[in-house]
């Protein structure tokens, strides 16, 4: 497989203005007739008479006609990936007829079947598996789609846009024609046909247009769509209020399918979702599921403008739509729920998953310069670091100028396929802010590191902050330039209150939080009128996606935990302190020294717990020790055993030392009575379950009793699954009984069974891998269903570091076996399991050798997909 490079981008030699698709659905073959209005691209004068090279894969070509004249095989060239026509007129109509077999499509890309229903997934390059086309996002066309199928099997026939006409045919068949007036790239095409039921809502836009909203699900799930529908309505309103963006058609459909490679897809007016991000009721879905549904429904809806109306010129620009849309959904969720708690959760995700990617073999810039398989670049870097880049632009411009920039972006580019540079240019032009150095965020990979030192001088009443930045080398980028990093800081006086801030050269103090523009390798910022030594609050709100180290003492951090006006930094101070202590203990463990948790740290945790009822959701986050994955990112060589031992030791010590406090807080946060999923109830449940987790770490009979009581008595899935998770990690004999009971209770609910697989895959207990192996043969496990694979195999490989990285290499062998088994069926899913291997350099020599051996076995396999090949080969480099 060959790498595709950004620098080789050329506009297409041809444009396609109109597409008339006729899809005839069959049990044996499905026939696709495409009538395309094609013309030479006037913007490519240099293309001369360049041949028309259409993309097409796994298509059986039945006929080709140009302007109504059927071609002979000698008139065109057919390769496994292309249909090539030479000597075509400047403008003409091309008609092709192809046959496909969606029922055999296990890759779940293109047209495929899920539970007997037809559905599509075209992003990034799935449309070429449906018909011959210029399958690239800068070719935008107006579509008409006629679907024909058996009326009894497929009573519902859907595509993009508005339903133009429909009717019945002989032999029990029927048809429907959909017309989408907005030009779109083919990756936004969608088709759904099947037996589905729907819920419906009406939405009136700000300008008075009535929109019909529908969510389609398989029969039996109609009781689980209310939350998704409410989330959709809220996101439509929010986009009008915050971005001034209204929905643009009379109908908006969502379809939930059980077999889906990713979370969801923003096809124009016909979003297709993984059931995981639609179906919810308190009995089957956790609070986190409810929050994720709200976020993903919003994300896909927001794409209607950021992605669909303005789309990407090429796939290197993926973050143009994804980074921006993630930022939009994060802000939406922050507005709907607790802003601080949302920010904490997002930063935790970024710091574990994206920082790990930035430190591994697959590290790439937010706008990559090359790829072998584009499906491998739907990454935390493109999505989440991309969102941080937009957030920094928002910080640098301020809310008002940011909105002006957004308005200018749409004024300039509505209906176009554009680049990240176009977006930044709109932001810079609308605000007058110079973003030239800032653009390095799109080009340089790796997590920048900031080292901060502070010096107070009582004689001059000044406080000097010196900030040094380095950007570590990443594959293909050995040296880096200094970046433009917005570091938001405040200074806390001795009483814990924010000081007014006056920087050197300023006439008067302004505000208590300031953006320091870090642009050079080393810079010093001097604050005036600082009589007493302050404690700096650095990188407030996590104003840039960097690793920051400082000379703050443990006492300073404890002070910030208690007083910082920035809620994020109150949490962050606790994380830094916890991380420092745990990493110190890791060193002790490695050196064979006894483990002792400092009393001062126990006191700090006790203080947070004592104050927990003021904001239970926040406390539940603040009381979680830094995760094993996060601790790993802070080490030169990751030692999964020591990390696990130390973290469990700390949990157990805190559990025992503060037992009475955990018990009391647990009792205070049990909410009897009617179940509710409002923010307050969610916060209380999170805190209660955190307390129970600590109590269970102490492994005593009373805790076990509480846990079993919760398991059997709870009405909501959040509490049931939390109890099951604690039990599955415990040595108690009741564990097996609960695991068996859970399956029996929930075997009819596939999404709940996924949770059951994950809980067992992530158990710390020594038999985790043996259990995962056995579960592969469980009747409920389906290797062809991505959710099952991610739950069981992914849960083990990503969510169970101590067992996955077992020193004997059996975890690695297991993962490689599963990747090789999956690759012929579904390369995208196989490739997404490879994440842990791409970080092999972060481990000791013995583990590296074991992982390399597995990667060599993978690379040496014939017929490997480009997806898995790219990750395996890059990981070995």
DSSP string, 586-649: HHHHHTTPPP---HHHHHHHHHHHHTGGGSHHHHHHHTSPPPHHHHHHTSSSB-HHHHHHHHHH
The tokens for 34 are: 């495409």
Catalytic hit among 300, 322, 331, 373: 300
Q: Considering only 261-269, 629-637, 713-721, 724-732, which stretch makes contact with ligand B3K by CB under 6 A?
A: 261-269
Which residues 325-344 are close enough to bind Zn ion by CB under 5 A? 325
Least separation, in Å, of the C-beta of 265 and ligand B3K?
Answer: 5
Apex 332 CA angle, 376 and 401, nearest 5: 95
**Binding partner of residue 123 among ligand B3K, Zn ion, none, CB cut-off 5 to 8 Å per kind:** ligand B3K
The Cα–Cα gap between 188 and 141 comes to: 11
Size, binding site for Zn ion by CB under 5 A: 2
In the complex with ligand B3K, the residue whose CB is nearer, 294 or 498, is: 294
**Binding partner of residue 375 among ligand B3K, Zn ion, none, CB cut-off 5 to 8 Å per kind:** ligand B3K
The binding track of 556-575 with respect to ligand B3K, each residue x by CB under 6 A or -, is: --------------------
Q: Are 530 and 499 in contact (CB under 8 A)?
A: yes
Using DSSP's 3-state secondary structure scheme, residue 585 falls into helix
100 binds ligand B3K (CB under 6 A): no
Q: Are 102 and 112 in contact (CB under 8 A)?
A: yes
In the complex with Zn ion, the residue whose CB is nearer, 303 or 343, is: 303
Least separation, in Å, of the C-beta of 524 and Zn ion?
Answer: 41
Which residues 309-368 are close enough to bind ligand B3K by CB under 6 A? 322
Least separation, in Å, of the C-beta of 812 and Zn ion?
Answer: 32
Distances (CA, A) of 158 to 142, 144, 225, 789, 829: 16, 12, 19, 29, 26
Q: Are 862 and 847 in contact (CB under 8 A)?
A: no
Least separation, in Å, of the C-beta of 94 and Zn ion?
Answer: 31
* CB atoms closer than 10 angstroms to residue 813: 15
For the chain, helix, strand, coil in percent to 5 are 45, 20, 35
Task: Walk across the sheet containing 69-70 and list its strands.
Answer: 69-70, 60-66, 91-100, 30-40, 14-24, 140-150, 173-185, 162-168
Q: Considering only 257-265, 403-411, 515-523, 838-846, which stretch makes contact with ligand B3K by CB under 6 A?
A: 257-265
The Cα–Cα gap between 94 and 243 comes to: 40
The tokens for 19 are: 């597409």
In the complex with ligand B3K, the residue whose CB is nearer, 293 or 538, is: 293
**Phi and psi torsions of 368, nearest 5°:** -65, 155
Least separation, in Å, of the C-beta of 322 and ligand B3K?
Answer: 5
* CB atoms closer than 10 angstroms to residue 203: 15
Q: Token pair 């930063």 is at which residue?
A: 347
Is 300 among the catalytic positions?
Answer: yes
The one-character DSSP state at 500 is: P
Least separation, in Å, of the C-beta of 374 and ligand B3K?
Answer: 8
376 binds ligand B3K (CB under 6 A): no
Strands 30-40 and 485-492: unpaired
From the list 552, 528, 526, 524, the residue with the least C-alpha distance to 538 is 552
Strands 156-159 and 191-194: antiparallel
In the complex with Zn ion, the residue whose CB is nearer, 329 or 572, is: 329
In the complex with ligand B3K, the residue whose CB is nearer, 323 or 545, is: 323
* CB atoms closer than 10 angstroms to residue 414: 11
**Binding partner of residue 262 among ligand B3K, Zn ion, none, CB cut-off 5 to 8 Å per kind:** ligand B3K
Peptide bond into 124 cis (omega under 30): yes
299 binds ligand B3K (CB under 6 A): yes
In the complex with ligand B3K, the residue whose CB is nearer, 110 or 536, is: 110
The Cα–Cα gap between 539 and 502 comes to: 18
**Binding partner of residue 357 among ligand B3K, Zn ion, none, CB cut-off 5 to 8 Å per kind:** none
Least separation, in Å, of the C-beta of 588 and ligand B3K?
Answer: 43
Measured in residues, the chain has a length of 877
List 55, 180, 289, 300, residue binding ligand B3K (CB under 6 A): 300
Apex 575 CA angle, 570 and 581, nearest 5: 130
Residue 47: burial class (beta carbons within 10 Å; 0-12, 13-18, 19+): middle
Give the H or E element holding residue 660: helix 659-669
105 binds ligand B3K (CB under 6 A): no
Least separation, in Å, of the C-beta of 299 and ligand B3K?
Answer: 6
Least separation, in Å, of the C-beta of 378 and Zn ion?
Answer: 9
The Cα–Cα gap between 733 and 740 comes to: 12
List 134, 211, 217, 265, residue binding ligand B3K (CB under 6 A): 265
Least separation, in Å, of the C-beta of 273 and ligand B3K?
Answer: 10
293 binds ligand B3K (CB under 6 A): no
List 332, 371, 378, 756, residue binding ligand B3K (CB under 6 A): 378
In the complex with ligand B3K, the residue whose CB is nearer, 689 or 831, is: 831
In the complex with ligand B3K, the residue whose CB is nearer, 444 or 831, is: 831
Q: Are 296 and 383 in contact (CB under 8 A)?
A: no
List 55, 266, 719, 854, residue binding ligand B3K (CB under 6 A): 266
The Cα–Cα gap between 138 and 420 comes to: 14
Q: Considering only 222-230, 295-303, 478-486, 763-771, which stretch makes contact with ligand B3K by CB under 6 A?
A: 295-303
Least separation, in Å, of the C-beta of 746 and ligand B3K?
Answer: 28
The Cα–Cα gap between 646 and 634 comes to: 15
The Cα–Cα gap between 821 and 789 comes to: 12
Q: Considering only 143-151, 299-307, 643-651, 758-766, which stretch makes contact with ligand B3K by CB under 6 A?
A: 299-307
Least separation, in Å, of the C-beta of 243 and ligand B3K?
Answer: 17
262 binds ligand B3K (CB under 6 A): yes
Q: Considering only 258-266, 386-394, 667-675, 710-718, which stretch makes contact with ligand B3K by CB under 6 A?
A: 258-266
The tokens for 247 are: 């929905």
Which residues 306-325 are close enough to bind Zn ion by CB under 5 A? 322, 325
The Cα–Cα gap between 584 and 647 comes to: 11
**Phi and psi torsions of 88, nearest 5°:** -85, 155
List 20, 55, 95, 123, residue binding ligand B3K (CB under 6 A): 123
375 binds ligand B3K (CB under 6 A): yes
Size, binding site for ligand B3K by CB under 6 A: 12
Q: Considering only 149-157, 229-237, 298-306, 568-576, which stretch makes contact with ligand B3K by CB under 6 A?
A: 298-306
In the complex with Zn ion, the residue whose CB is nearer, 262 or 515, is: 262
**Binding partner of residue 378 among Zn ion, ligand B3K, none, CB cut-off 5 to 8 Å per kind:** ligand B3K
The Cα–Cα gap between 662 and 659 comes to: 5
Least separation, in Å, of the C-beta of 632 and ligand B3K?
Answer: 27
In the complex with ligand B3K, the residue whose CB is nearer, 124 or 738, is: 124
Q: Considering only 259-267, 417-425, 613-621, 808-816, which stretch makes contact with ligand B3K by CB under 6 A?
A: 259-267
In the complex with ligand B3K, the residue whose CB is nearer, 108 or 487, is: 108
In the complex with ligand B3K, the residue whose CB is nearer, 355 or 378, is: 378
Q: Closest residue (Cβ) to ligand B3K?
A: 123
The Cα–Cα gap between 534 and 526 comes to: 13
What is the Cα Rg of the chain in Å? 28
Binding stretches for ligand B3K (CB under 6 A): 123-124, 262, 264-266, 299-300, 303, 322, 375, 378
Binding stretches for Zn ion (CB under 5 A): 322, 325
Catalytic residue positions, numbered: 300
């Amino acid at each position: 497989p060959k790498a595709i490079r950004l620098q080789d981008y050329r506009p297409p030699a041809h444009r396609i203005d109109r597409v008339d698709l006729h899809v005839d659905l069959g049990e044996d073959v499905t026939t696709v007739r495409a009538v395309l209005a094609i013309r030479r691209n006037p913007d490519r004068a240099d293309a001369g008479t360049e041949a028309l090279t259409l993309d097409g894969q796994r298509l059986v070509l039945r006929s080709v006609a140009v302007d109504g004249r059927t071609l002979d095989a000698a008139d065109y060239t057919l390769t496994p990936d292309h249909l090539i026509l030479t000597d075509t007129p400047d403008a003409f109509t091309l008609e092709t007829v192809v046959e496909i077999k969606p029922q055999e499509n296990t890759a779940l890309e293109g047209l495929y079947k899920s539970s007997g229903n037809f559905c599509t997934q075209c992003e990034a390059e799935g449309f070429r598996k449906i018909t011959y086309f210029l399958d690239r996002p800068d070719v935008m066309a107006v579509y008409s789609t006629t679907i024909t199928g058996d009326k009894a099997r497929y009573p519902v026939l859907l595509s993009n846009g508005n339903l133009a006409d429909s009717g019945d045919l002989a032999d029990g068949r029927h048809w429907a024609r959909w017309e989408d007036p907005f030009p779109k790239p083919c990756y936004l095409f969608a088709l759904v046909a099947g037996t589905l039921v729907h819920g419906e809502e009406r939405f009136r836009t700000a300008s008075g247009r009535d929109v019909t909203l529908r969510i389609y699900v398989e029969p039996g799930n109609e009781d689980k769509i209310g939350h998704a529908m409410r989330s959709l309505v809220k996101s439509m309103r929010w986009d009008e209020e915050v971005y001034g963006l209204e929905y643009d058609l009379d109908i908006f459909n969502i379809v939930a399918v059980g077999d889906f490679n990713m979370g969801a897809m923003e096809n124009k007016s016909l979003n297709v979702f993984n059931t995981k991000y639609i179906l919810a009721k308190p009995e089957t879905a956790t609070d986190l599921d409810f929050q994720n549904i709200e976020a993903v429904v919003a994300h896909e809806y927001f794409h209607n403008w950021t992605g669909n109306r303005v789309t990407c010129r090429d796939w290197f620009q993926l973050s143009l739509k994804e980074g921006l849309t993630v930022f939009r959904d994060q802000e939406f969720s922050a507005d709907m729920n607790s802003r601080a708690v949302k920010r904490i959760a997002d930063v935790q995700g970024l710091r574990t998953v994206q920082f790990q990617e930035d430190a591994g073999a697959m590290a790439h810039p937010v706008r990559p310069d090359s790829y072998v398989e584009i499906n491998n670049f739907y990454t935390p870097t493109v999505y989440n670091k991309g969102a941080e880049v937009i957030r920094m632009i928002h910080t640098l411009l301020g809310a008002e100028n940011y909105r002006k920039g957004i308005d200018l972006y749409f004024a300039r580019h509505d209906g176009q396929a554009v680049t990240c540079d176009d977006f930044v240019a709109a932001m810079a032009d609308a605000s007058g802010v110079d973003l030239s150095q800032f653009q390095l965020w799109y080009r340089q990979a790796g997590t920048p590191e900031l080292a901060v030192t502070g010096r107070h001088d009582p004689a001059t009443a000044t406080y000097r902050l010196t900030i040094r930045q380095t950007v570590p080398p990443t594959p293909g980028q050995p040296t880096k330039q200094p970046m433009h990093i917005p570091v938001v800081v405040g200074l806390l006086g001795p009483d814990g209150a924010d000081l007014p801030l006056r920087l050197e050269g300023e006439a008067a103090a302004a505000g208590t939080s300031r953006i320091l523009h870090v642009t050079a390798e080393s810079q010093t910022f001097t604050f005036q009128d600082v009589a007493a030594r302050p404690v700096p609050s650095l990188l407030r709100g996590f104003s840039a996606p960097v690793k920051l180290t400082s000379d703050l003492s443990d006492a300073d951090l404890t002070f910030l935990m208690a007083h910082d006006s920035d809620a994020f930094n109150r949490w962050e101070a606790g994380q830094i302190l916890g991380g420092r202590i745990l990493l110190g203990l890791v060193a002790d463990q490695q050196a064979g020294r006894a483990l002792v948790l400092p009393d001062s740290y126990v006191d700090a945790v006790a203080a947070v717990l004592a104050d927990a009822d003021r904001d239970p959701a926040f406390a539940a986050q603040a009381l979680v020790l830094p995760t094993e994955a996060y601790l790993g990112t802070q080490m030169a060589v990751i030692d999964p055993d020591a990390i696990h031992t130390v973290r469990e030791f700390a949990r157990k010590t805190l559990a025992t030392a503060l037992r009475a406090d955990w018990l009391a807080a647990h009792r205070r946060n049990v909410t009897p009575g009617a179940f509710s999923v409002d923010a307050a109830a969610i916060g209380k449940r999170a805190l209660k379950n955190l307390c129970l987790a600590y109590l269970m770490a102490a492994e005593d009979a009373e805790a076990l009793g509480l846990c079993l009581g919760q398991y059997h008595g709870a009405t909501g899935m959040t509490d049931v699954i939390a109890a099951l998770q604690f039990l599955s990690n415990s040595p108690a004999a009741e564990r097996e009984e609960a695991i068996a009971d859970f399956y029996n209770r929930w075997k009819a609910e596939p999404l709940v069974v996924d949770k059951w697989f994950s809980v067992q895959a992530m158990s710390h207990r020594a038999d985790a891998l043996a259990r995962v192996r056995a579960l592969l043969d469980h009747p409920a496990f389906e290797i062809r269903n991505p959710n099952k694979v991610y739950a069981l195999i992914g849960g083990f490989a990503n969510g169970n570091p101590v067992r996955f990285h077992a020193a004997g290499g059996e975890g690695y062998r297991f993962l490689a076996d599963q990747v090789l088994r999956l690759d012929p069926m579904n390369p995208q899913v196989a490739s997404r399991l490879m994440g842990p291997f791409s970080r092999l350099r972060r481990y000791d020599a013995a583990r590296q050798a074991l992982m390399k051996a597995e990667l060599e076995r993978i690379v040496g396999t014939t017929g490997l997909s480009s997806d898995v090949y790219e990750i395996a080969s890059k990981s070995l480099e």
